[in-house]
Structure 1
Amino acid sequence: MWNIPNLLTMLRIVLIPVFVVVFYIEAHWAPYVAAAIFGAAALTDWLDGYLARLWEQTSPLGAFLDPVADKLMVAVALVLLVQYDPRTLLALPAIVIIGREITVSALREWMAEIGARAKVAVSMTGKIKTTAQMISIVLLILRETVFGPWVYELGVVLLYVAAVLTLWSMMLYLRAAWPSLSGQIDRTGRD
């Protein structure tokens, strides 16, 4: 249970309140530190899974905590960003992303209950979505710092790319699960 991949996942959860506090500090350095904290958390998301597979240290705790940590960090960051910039421009993709995460989590839980979890495993589209989402959030946290307004604008564009990929990957998951959801396949997985 106390292996490096699980500790990295737990670190990501511990960083959430630190991220929130730094996000609200009104100092010229705060956006850089907040972006670094979020970026480090995003890197540990990739690193913990990679190390768990490499060192064969996968565990039920890690399998449970990893997606929870990811979704918490992203949801908290999106809520803070929308609070900072409460325009529809930012609120709309944030709602899509958070709503999709709730929907897909519920779908995966239900599919696991009926023994069909593999049908809604993470796809390549989901991984690309996550990458675009993490980069966009880092850029949005930086706001209009010394790099200029183009950083924030690029963050908004990437957030929309992530939102579109979010909807697309959700549709792929729902399509894969549709036979079970619609009753075309009974709970044992037979036609």
Structure 2
Amino acid sequence: MTFNIPNILTLLRLVLIPFFLVFFYLPWEYAYVTAAGIFMLAAFTDALDGYLARKLNQTTPFGAFLDPVVDKVMVASALVVLVQSYESSIWMTIAAIIMIGREIVISALREWMAEMGKRSSVAVSWIGKFKTAAQMLAITGLIAQMSEEMVNISMVMLYVATALTLWSMLVYLKAAWKDLSAHG
């Protein structure tokens, strides 16, 4: 394993997940805001590590493997605690299932396409980047729970992120459809 700045940022994000969870559940007045800050820091390192890996030419097999895994664990952890916290919202539960389900489907699709030597057919698209940005903003606002207005805006952002999630999944599936539907 190579210890370069992008990989260290990915590992930092992994280490931040338990801290996020602990602060979210602490019986403390500022627990949600602190948890939201930790989540926001982790989201920032997600954007920064990829940028630095490309900019500094420090991409590694370890980073290519670990980065998407940590991203998915981070988002899934946040969605699970939010579903539990906002237990009365069926729509949040549906959004979380769609988002987590999409990540599983696209991860499996990318792995399968890589086995066929066609991983570039399902490379990250601009829709995926917008989806991630909307998702991170929505989740951060929902974690912070600073005001009813913030929660309402964050819920709208969550629904936007859910729509982008479905759209991006369809784009990836369309790109791979020829291979998926081939008779062999």
TM normalised by structure 2 equals: 0.97
Query: How many Å apart are 1:90 and its aligned residue?
Result: 1.0
Structure 1 runs of 4+ aligned residues shifted over 3 Å read: none
Query: How many Å apart are 1:35 and its aligned residue?
Result: 0.4
Q: Given residue 141 of structure 1, which amino acid in structure 2 is its aligned partner?
A: I
- Secondary structure, aligned partner of 1:22: helix
- Secondary structure, aligned partner of 1:26: coil
1:167 aligns with 2:166: yes
Query: How many Å apart are 1:26 and its aligned residue?
Result: 1.6
Tell me the equivalent position of 1:37. Answer: 38
Tell me the equivalent position of 2:23. Answer: 22
- Secondary structure, aligned partner of 1:2: coil
Query: How many Å apart are 1:81 and its aligned residue?
Result: 0.3
Unpaired stretches in structure 1, ≥5 consecutive residues: 187-191
Tell me the equivalent position of 1:96. Answer: 98
Unpaired stretches in structure 2, ≥5 consecutive residues: none
Percent identity of paired positions between Structure 1 and Structure 2: 57
Give distance in 2, aligned partners of 1:64 and 1:41. 17
- Secondary structure, aligned partner of 1:150: helix
**How is 1:22-171 mapped onto 2 (pairs within 5 angstroms)?**
22-86=23-87, 87-143=89-145, 145=146, 148-171=147-170
Tell me the equivalent position of 2:179. Answer: 180
Query: How many Å apart are 1:182 and its aligned residue?
Result: 0.6
Q: Given residue 98 of structure 1, which amino acid in structure 2 is its aligned partner?
A: I
Q: Given residue 46 of structure 1, which amino acid in structure 2 is its aligned partner?
A: A
Give distance in 2, aligned partners of 1:69 and 1:158. 22
Q: Given residue 159 of structure 1, which amino acid in structure 2 is its aligned partner?
A: L
Give distance in 2, aligned partners of 1:105 and 1:159. 21
Give distance in 2, aligned partners of 1:159 and 1:26. 26
Query: How many Å apart are 1:89 and its aligned residue?
Result: 2.2
User: Once the two structures are superposed, what CA deviation does each residue of 1:109-158 show, in whole Å capped at 9, x if it has no partner?
Assistant: 00000001000000000000000000000000011x2xx20101111110
- Secondary structure, aligned partner of 2:176: helix
Query: How many Å apart are 1:53 and its aligned residue?
Result: 0.9
